[in-house]
Each structure stands twice: as C-alpha cells, then as structure tokens.
Amino acid sequence: MKLDLRLPIGLMFGVFGVILTVYGFVSETAIYDRSLGINVNLWWGLVLLAFGIVMLTLSYRGRVAKPTKTHSTSTP
C-alpha cells in the first residue's frame, strides 16, 4: 500500500488558503485596525495557498517519478 500524505495535505491547505484569501479580499478594512492595518487574512491565505500548491506539486512529482529497480545478476 502506497500512502502519500502530500496529496490530502496539499488539498486541505489549498482549500483553506483559497477561503482565507477570498475572505481577505471581500472583508472590510475596519476589522484590521487591531493588526495595524495589515490584512492578515489575505496574507496568511496566500501563504497557505502557496504551501498547498507546493505540497500538490511534490505529490504530483512523486507520482510521476517511477522508482527504478536495479538487479545485480552475477554469474558464478
């Protein structure tokens, strides 16, 4: 059984990143007064989205790369 955790982790972080980024775009700027005017939801959403994309890319590259088996056949 081949279990690659990068795929579900990438999907989870990607979905959360999209949700948080969209919320950061549509939310009012007044809620960011406590964070010195920095749109924390937008920036952390982008960070989560980037991490999700990296994990999905690594998962895809791991699935495409086929492990090569080398057999040593020595004749006596």
pLDDT digits (tens, 9 = 90+) for 11-41: 999 999 999 999 999 998 888 888 898 889 9
Q: How far apart are the C-alpha atoms of 73 and 55, rounded to whole Å?
A: 38
Residue linked to tokens 């989870």: 12
In a domain, 50, yes or no: yes
Q: Residue 22 belongs to what domain range?
A: 6-69
In a domain, 75, yes or no: no
State residue 56's pLDDT score: 93
Q: How many domains does the chain have?
A: 1
In a domain, 76, yes or no: no
pTM, rounded to two decimals: 0.76
In a domain, 65, yes or no: yes
Residue linked to tokens 């690659």: 4
In a domain, 1, yes or no: no
